[in-house]
Amino acid sequence: MSRKLPLADGETSRTACARALIRSGVDEKTGEVLTAAALVERVGWCAGLVHGMTGALLAEHWNTTDVNTLSCGQDAGGRKLPPNAWMALRRLGWTVTCEAKVNDRIVRMAQEQAGRALRSVKWRADLVAGALAEWPEDPKKRTGEEWDAVRGAIRGGEYLPSSIIRSRTRQVAVFESKNARLPVDVFELEPSPRVPRMLLLAACDGQQATIGRSATEPTKALLRLQLPTRPDPQKYADWTWVECPITLPPTVPANAVIHLPTVRITGRKVRADVAYTHAVPKTSRTGHTVALGVDWGLNTLFSAGAARMHEDGRITALGAGAQFRAAGVLAKQYRLRHIFECLHAKTGHYTRLADPALDGKAATLAKEIRRVCERRSNLNETLAWAAARWAVDQAVAAGATVIYLEDPRSMEAGGMGRTHNTRLSQTVRGQITDRMRHLAAEVGIAVVTVPPRSTSKHCPCCLTPLRHRKAPDRPTVPGWKWAICPGCGWQGDRDQGAWRRIAARGLAHQTKTVVDRVSGTMLIRAVVDTMEAKAVIAATEKTSRTDRSKTGPTRPRTNRLTPRRREVPSPARLTGPAGQRPEGHAPTDRTRLPRAAHRHQGVTTISTPTTSRHRPRGAALGAGFHLHAHASPPRWAEPTPDPTVRIGSLS
């Protein structure tokens, strides 16, 4: 199969990843069919060998000198280092040995994994070095001059969010309180990272692993790789080729080029992260006329709406926008976080007691902590995919070519109480943003982050500072949910005004959109005052209704109301789904939904039942994930008037 992807005009290539499950394998030497348990064992032996060599490499080169040497991009002779991490480490002479008999490709995977970790720590090292060079007198509160100094000491610090600098400052302050001195660098502040047990087959060639797609079944692929037959192979004969059939998920296009995956063990299963390259429409940084603005919230996870830029420069809103509410899901996440903190507190208490009789209880708590962590991770991932899919679908429905959203890195939780601040900081905004970029790239929609400064503070129509009140019917009670403009008179929900400001800011500043060199994402770094003055939502022209002249005869009306149901007797209800439907419009073969689906989900959901008679269906809190995540329907334009309203019965 050709590894070059053919592209048409207006298309570009994109590499994505899909998860697949390896259920079995066949040993080519003996013809033995390996079960899932046997395959997990053999993959675990190989991953253990790679894990040991990777840990040795990181422990040896976890220092400032070696990281700077690797990140400078040149070797001792002045030659440019290769982009592949394992090739760069070999050029520098950083090798590793293994007591077992392994081939050169196994060493490659260890060097690739260690090289990626060492390259990624360079950014943190520069950040901590800049913070230490300009250490403030009061770490909890920097002055304006100290902020300018620390940003000047960090490379690219002028565009760095304040929350990142504050988090590193708190980390250094904790080290200072424990050791009565400042750390030398990040390598004293942080130990060498933990190495995951996985096989980076992308660093190998055909002598270690190959993958091919079936010509008859596009969803089938065959992975061949060498695995050891014992945990400590002593000769090359202890390595054999194993064929592993893989069923690709339907998200992988039929014409996509697949690459060697990353194989890892999760639980008692072998999973493969299959990378594939396929063609997608190109995205543009400028030239957008319709944009979707996204504003982050708490119980309302985010609000979104579309705006249009006209030829004369005016920006108008398309409809009233929509909301994605996930209060029930987030309430469950808060409870899991509370359980997680209690388990950690109890484990720390057992550790301080240092009683051998409590080792069994500590092991039980460790298992429970891992189980709670898995539940939190699964819930966050499900919520992130659902929210990202909803946002991209809103953009597609509105005909938008770009999505503008607040930069989640610049958002800090503060000023709303300890509990509220913690909930804000636990929201998975970063995961939602990554998933949104992934899904938007498939349909050619650009995702651009904009500075969040004053998006909820100023009026979207005249940029006047808003007055925030508790509710629309309580205009004199201070609050934060409802916004009233003292200038133009606009009023509305705080989040509804924020997405208008974000969409207008993005459209007005689209010429300032840049692509980050490290991450490859699009962003607007700063707000320009002259462009911000044009980022206002103009009033939508309404249809004039002053002309009430008749265009035809008046249709006669009747005083008798239209019957809601037909007046003939309904047939008897059958036990099965077949037969004529009884009276009414609701299908009767469907069981009634739990009452959690029919009410607005607040932060506090129903509690666990204490009586034996009441047994709610679905989850104990209501009806599971999908009935706890609510998305308001889009309203991109004014509804079409119904000519049959108030005309009486047609019978």
Q: Report the mean per-residue pLDDT for the chain.
A: 83
User: Residue 230's pLDDT band (boundaries 50, 70, 90)?
Assistant: very high
pLDDT band at 330 (very low <50, low <70, confident <90, very high): confident
- Helix 327-353 vs helix 418-425: crossing angle, to nearest 10: 100
Element (H, E) at 405: strand 402-406
Specify the range with the lowest mean pLDDT, choosing from 283-297, 509-523, 562-576, 588-602: 588-602
Closest CA to 211 of 160, 175, 246, 253: 246
Task: Evaluate if residue 631 carries a pLDDT over 70.
Answer: no
At residue 566, does pLDDT exceed 60? no
Rounded to an integer, what distance in angstroms lies between the CA atom of residue 220 and that of residue 515? Answer: 36
The confidence band for 121, taking pLDDT boundaries of 50, 70 and 90, is: very high
Specify which residues 307 forms β-bridges with.
291, 317
Task: Give the chain's end-to-end CA distance (angstroms, integer).
Answer: 67
In terms of residues, how long is the chain?
651
- Ordered structural domains, the chain, with CATH: 11-33+197-281 (no CATH), 50-189 (no CATH), 290-328+383-532 (3.30.420)
- In 208-367, at which residue ranges do the beta strands (DSSP E only) sit? 209-213, 220-228, 239-247, 257-258, 262-266, 269-281, 290-296, 300-309, 315-325
- Looking at residue 560, its pLDDT comes to 60
pLDDT digits (tens, 9 = 90+) for 242-287: 999 999 998 899 889 999 999 999 888 999 999 999 999 999 999 9
- With bands split at pLDDT 50, 70 and 90, how would you rate the model's confidence at 578? low
Band (pLDDT 50/70/90 cuts) for residue 47 is: very high
If you average pLDDT over each of 46-50, 424-428, 476-480, which comes out highest? 46-50
Which positions ≥6 away from 11 have C-beta within 8 Å?
279, 280, 281, 282
DSSP single-letter state for residue 157: G
Sheet holding 482-484, edge to edge: 474-478, 467-471, 482-484, 491-493
Residue 580 exposed, middle or buried by CB count within 10 Å (0-12, 13-18, 19+):
exposed
Model pLDDT for residues 286-301, shown as the tens digit of each residue: 999 999 999 988 667 8
Lowest mean pLDDT among 47-61, 192-206, 408-422: 408-422
Task: Kindly state the average pLDDT of the residues 223-249.
Answer: 94
Q: Provide φ and ψ at 302, rounded to 5°.
A: -160, 155
pLDDT at 48 over 70: yes
> For 412-465, how does the pLDDT look when each residue is reduced to its tens digit (9 = 90+)?
655 555 555 565 566 688 889 999 999 999 999 999 999 888 888 899 999 999
Q: Which conformational region is residue 511 in: left (phi greater than 0), alpha (psi within -120 to 50 degrees), or beta? A: alpha
Q: Which amino acid is at 45?
A: W
489 pLDDT tier (thresholds 50, 70, 90): confident
pLDDT score for 389 = 94
DSSP line for 440-502: HHHTT-EEEEE--TTTTTB-TTT-PBPEEEEETTEEEEE-SSEEE-TTT--EEEHHHHHHHHH
